[in-house]
């Protein structure tokens, strides 16, 4: 039996349409409100990170007249470069006579001042016997004070910079011996216990090595596994079991892969702990299901007519797949691989389990050297008690976000540039 619909009268019809129209308007308002809330929260997050981290790209330096005395610098093995800095400070500020005052005075300059002088002398022996103005890193407390993170107005006992130090800094400003310059150290040096000397180069190189090791293993295995499952494997209980587990593995928490990497690569195979190689192999297990799924979806998106045409012209199954299906699916495959690189760059939990959370001062030169990555570097700096590491943390997050945005933008470019619009 067919169901009979009763037509609405003119007034009821008008009221019904008006009610439906109002529902559509409310639904659109809900969507717009949700988008505005999302963009507002994102803007607050980005503004808070950028406002806190952009100052890390600038550093404070102090110039001192250094007298490269022959009596101090010869012989070179016994040279006391730190005494040259202290003597210069005492001559510039003779009022700092007591032990406590001199300790405050010496804290204006970073602890790496002696290494700075040693490198200068090693590169130019003609400096011995002369007096030259040398720019040194200001200490972390002076740096954050000059950047406005420490106010002069608060009580002396509540701030790291004391009143006498502020007076000395004002004198240095008047003499033109205090300046702010671009912080190249942040991009060219490895990690350090001293905030003013810490850089992200070591973690950046470690991230590159980790991504390289990960993609060398995960990309070919994932792509060829997807091709086999989609085009060659027969539909049976075994392949169904594999497909179900691939989907399940894509949803497994990432820290589980860290435990697996700890058990397999470190405990069983005995690979070097904290190395980029182990990190890459561990993350390869993490992104492998994602690469397989995205590759299979890209292959499924190729119209069956391509396959039928190749088969009709006498192409073998191998020729049909690698000469026709694979090139047509390549934009989607590359997009999935690039997005997997982005995920690899942003992972932290698996790397903590395999020891890449250790403090690494030296920049790694090979995949088996101890290393860390950018997200782990953020974790390490955020756990440091010094106030100067707060801006370092935010700056490292800014660099990480820029890299992730660039990778995702590259994936979008590949998709839009090479994607074929099938009709």
Note down pLDDT in tens along the chain; length 423 residues.
Answer: 455 545 555 667 677 777 888 888 999 999 999 999 999 999 999 999 999 899 999 999 999 998 887 766 665 556 778 888 888 999 999 988 888 989 999 999 998 888 888 888 888 878 888 888 999 999 999 999 999 888 888 888 888 899 999 999 999 999 999 999 999 999 999 998 889 899 999 999 999 999 999 999 999 999 999 999 998 888 888 888 998 899 888 888 999 999 999 999 999 999 988 899 999 999 999 999 999 999 999 999 888 888 888 888 888 888 898 888 988 899 889 988 998 999 999 899 999 988 888 888 889 999 999 999 999 999 999 888 888 899 999 999 999 999 999 998 888 888 787 776 666
Per-residue CA distances from 303 to 25, 259, 309, 316, 418 (Å)? 39, 41, 10, 18, 16
Pick from 132, 92, 136, 85: which is nearest to 106 by CA? Answer: 85
CATH of 201-418 given 3.30.360.10, 1.10.3720.10, 1.20.1090.10, 3.30.70.260: 1.10.3720.10
Strands 58-67 and 131-137: antiparallel
Can you count the helices (H) and strands (E) in the chain?
18, 3
Pairwise CA distance, residues 378 & 372, whole Å: 10
In the chain, residues under CATH classification 1.10.3720.10 are: 201-418
On the question of a cis peptide bond just before residue 75, with omega within 30 degrees of 0, the verdict is yes
Q: What share of the chain is helix, strand, coil (3-state, %, to 5)?
A: 70, 5, 25
User: pLDDT, tens digit, for every residue of 256-284?
Assistant: 999 999 999 999 999 988 899 999 999 99
């Amino acid at each position: 039996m067919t169901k009979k619909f009763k037509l609405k009268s003119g007034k009821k019809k008008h009221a019904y349409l008006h009610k439906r129209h109002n529902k559509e308007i409310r639904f659109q308002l809900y969507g717009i409100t949700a988008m505005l809330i999302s963009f507002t929260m994102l803007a607050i997050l980005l503004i808070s990170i950028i406002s806190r981290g952009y100052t890390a790209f600038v550093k404070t330096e102090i110039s001192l007249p250094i007298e490269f005395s022959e009596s101090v610098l010869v012989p070179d093995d016994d040279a006391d470069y730190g005494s040259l800095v202290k003597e210069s400070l005492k001559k510039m500020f003779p009022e700092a006579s007591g032990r406590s005052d001199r300790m405050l005075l010496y804290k204006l300059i970073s602890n790496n001042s002696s290494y700075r002088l040693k490198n200068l002398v090693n590169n130019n022996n003609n400096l011995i016997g002369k007096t030259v103005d040398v720019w040194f890193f200001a200490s972390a407390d002076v740096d954050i004070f000059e950047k406005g993170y420490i106010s002069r107005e608060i009580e002396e006992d509540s701030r790291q910079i004391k009143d006498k130090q502020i007076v000395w800094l004002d004198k240095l400003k008047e003499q033109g011996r205090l300046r702010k310059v671009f912080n190249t150290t942040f991009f060219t040096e490895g990690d350090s216990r001293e905030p003013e000397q810490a850089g992200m180069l070591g973690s950046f190189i470690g991230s590159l090595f980790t991504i390289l090791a990960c993609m060398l293993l995960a990309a070919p295995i994932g792509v060829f596994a997807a091709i086999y499952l989609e085009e060659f494997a027969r539909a049976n209980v075994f392949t169904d079991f594999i497909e179900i587990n691939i989907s399940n593995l894509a949803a497994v928490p990432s820290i589980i892969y860290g435990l697996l990497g700890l058990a397999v690569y470190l405990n069983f195979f005995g690979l070097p702990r904290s190395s980029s190689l182990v990190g890459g192999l561990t993350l390869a297990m993490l992104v492998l299901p994602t690469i397989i799924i995205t590759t299979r979806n890209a292959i499924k998106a190729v119209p069956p007519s391509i396959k039928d045409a190749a088969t009709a012209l006498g192409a073998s199954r191998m020729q049909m797949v690698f000469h026709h299906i694979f090139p047509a699916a390549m934009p989607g495959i590359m997009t999935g691989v690039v997005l997997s690189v982005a995920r690899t760059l942003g992972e932290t939990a698996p790397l903590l389990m395999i020891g890449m959370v250790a403090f690494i001062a030296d920049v790694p030169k090979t995949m088996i050297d101890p290393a860390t990555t950018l997200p782990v570097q953020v974790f390490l700096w955020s756990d440091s008690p010094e106030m100067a590491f707060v801006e370092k943390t935010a700056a490292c997050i800014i660099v990480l976000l820029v890299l992730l945005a660039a990778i995702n933008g590259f994936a979008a470019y590949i998709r839009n540039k090479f994607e074929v619009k099938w009709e």
